[in-house]
Structure 1
Amino acid sequence: MFDTSRRAQVDTVGMKTIVCTAMLGAAVFVAAPLAHANEDPAANPPNCSAADMEGVRAGVEASTSAYLFTHPDVNAFFNGLSGLPRNKLGPKLKDYFAAHPQTQAELTGIRQPLVDIKNRCGHG
């Protein structure tokens, strides 16, 4: 016959081991970022986490997409750059923006939040 009290005791010990291991793992996971944090608050400015950066980047990308959809001529220009070698892009962009200063100002304004967070957070 099977001794159920012995089995219950083994199950309890096994469960305690699993729970303790999980708690230890969670503690290490939670404490790991703190080990890399700088004690100087200036070195860790607020709102400079990876999530903050990606949130701003996503907003800039969405705004850029909306701008290109509502400005088909600008969208067509950027589509025409696809496949060009990198050394040809700079001069083409410079010439285009020289001929279209309003477009340059609008796109610069759209990208400004990303520039700002990079500068504020030391990623510039």
Structure 2
Amino acid sequence: MKLSVRRGAAALIGSGTLLGALAFAVAPTALADDPPPPPNCTAADFAGVNSGVSAATSAYLFTHPDVNAFFTGLHGKPRTEIKSDVQDYFNANPQARDELTNIRQPLADIKNRCGFSNVAPTP
């Protein structure tokens, strides 16, 4: 009885190993059909850029209490209202618009260079 269980386990492990080896053998062939991504366009690269932009945005908002108060005041509003309020605010405060746009520029750059499509547009 124990011998049958061992043989079954060995067969299961062996088949898993074989499937894993096949997956690694086939993966380069499947990947070879797609062009290589541009350099520095991995998920880690995007996450790094995104975290830098988030940190810079946080620092900006802490050092610009009026802008921070405006964006904090948007909480709970409908999206359509937020969009028009932000546009009105930026029209009345072009310096804040330009500064925040510059902070977010690295996101736009990596999106354009790497072809990411799920990145929020700059204001």
Q: TM-score, normalised by structure 1?
A: 0.71
Asked which structure has the greater CA Rg, the reply is 1
Greater RCO structure (CA 8 Å; 6+ sep): 1
Who is 1:62 aligned against?
55
Q: CA RMSD in A?
A: 3.2
> Could you list the runs of 5+ residues in structure 1 that have no partner in the other structure?
1-13
Who is 2:103 aligned against?
110
**Number of matched residues?**
117
Distance of aligned partners of 1:85 and 1:107 in 2 relative to their CA distance in 1, 3 Å threshold: same
Distance of aligned partners of 1:61 and 1:28 in 2 relative to their CA distance in 1, 3 Å threshold: same
Aligned-residue identity in percent: 60
Q: TM-score, normalised by structure 2?
A: 0.72
* Runs of 4+ that moved beyond 2 A: 21-41
Distance in 1 separating the partners of 2:46 and 2:39: 12
> Which has the larger helix fraction?
1
> Could you list the runs of 5+ residues in structure 2 that have no partner in the other structure?
1-8, 118-123
Counterpart secondary structure, 1:51: helix
Who is 2:4 aligned against?
none
